[in-house]
């Protein structure tokens, strides 16, 4: 099942790269404020707020199933912040 979720996330990510751009931007904002750990869920809700309230860009839907994969992708792209988001081991997860 986790492989299926990962593939669904990757397909979504390829079609909606602006979601990761916002995830990365808002995560970096939190890091700049001095946080050593934070919640990927909170960043995801910030994206929802931003796209639903602050901008006109909210024509895409965010699946809560994708949050863990955005956190892992952030860690992969920014190894200096590995562990910033707490993640659980997922069988078959190699991202």
pLDDT, tens digit, for every residue of 33-86? 999 999 999 999 999 888 876 556 556 678 888 999 999 999 999 999 999 999
Q: Are 69 and 5 in contact (CB under 8 A)?
A: yes
The confidence score (pLDDT) of residue 52 equals 73
Looking at the predicted structure, is the pLDDT value of residue 24 above 80?
A: yes
Domain locations in the chain as residue ranges: 2-81
Mean pLDDT (whole number) for 3-23 = 91
Of 27 and 59, more confident: 27
Helix, strand or coil, per DSSP, at residue 85: strand
Instruction: Kindly report the number of other CB atoms within 10 A of residue 7's CB atom.
Output: 10
CA dist 59 and 78 (Å) reads 28
Query: Cα 22 from chain centroid?
Result: 8
Task: Compute the C-alpha angle 34/23/83, nearest 5°.
Answer: 55
């Amino acid at each position: 099942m986790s492989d299926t979720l990962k593939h669904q996330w990757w397909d979504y990510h390829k079609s909606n790269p602006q979601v990761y751009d916002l995830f990365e931007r808002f995560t970096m904002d939190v890091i700049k404020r001095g946080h050593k750990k934070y919640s990927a869920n909170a960043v995801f809700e910030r994206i929802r707020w931003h796209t639903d309230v602050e901008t006109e860009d909210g024509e895409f839907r965010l699946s809560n199933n994708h949050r863990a994969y955005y956190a892992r992708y952030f860690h992969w792209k920014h190894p200096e912040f590995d562990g910033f988001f707490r993640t659980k081991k997922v069988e078959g997860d190699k991202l």
